[in-house]
Amino acid sequence: MLIYKFIKNALEEIRIETSTYQGKEYLSIRTWFDASRGQNTDWQPSQKGITLSVDLLQELLKGLKLAEKGLKKEDPQLSLPDQEESGGERKTKKERKDFAGSSGEIPF
């Protein structure tokens, strides 16, 4: 089941999904690519990504939080967007500009 996705670039997106295999729940974070190269939008999973038991989700989150802290420590000026700011989707420069001038509602 698709949980979340965001645009990586013009031909790729990152998808976070859950699935069940042999009675066990898994979490997959994978790059998907447009196999039609922009013609018909034919999304296919790539080999880039990870699949792990949902039992390891807390460890993954711990590692991501430490990575975020490390990045901020290396560069205190680094501005990482909040999920609320991004509205759960990665936006283009134009979309961010349009959003900044809006009434505060996320237009997506």
Residue 32, in any domain of the structure: yes
pTM of the full predicted structure? 0.67
**What CATH number is given to the structural domain containing 22?**
2.30.31.10
Domain with 21, as residue range(s), is 2-56
Residues 24-75: tens digit of each pLDDT: 999 999 999 999 887 888 899 999 999 999 999 999 999 999 999 999 888 8
Reading phi first (left if > 0) and then psi (alpha if -120 to 50, else beta), residue 36 is in: alpha
Number of structural domains found in the chain: 1
Contact 37, 11 (CB under 8 A): yes
CA gap 81, 28 in Å, rounded: 23
In a domain, 47, yes or no: yes
Name the nearest CA neighbour of 64 among 50, 85, 45. 50
Q: Scan for tokens 């997506």, then name that residue.
A: 108
Category of 47 on φ-ψ map: left (φ > 0), alpha (ψ -120 to 50) or beta: alpha
Residue 104: inside a domain, yes or no?
Answer: no
| Domain-located, residue 41 | yes
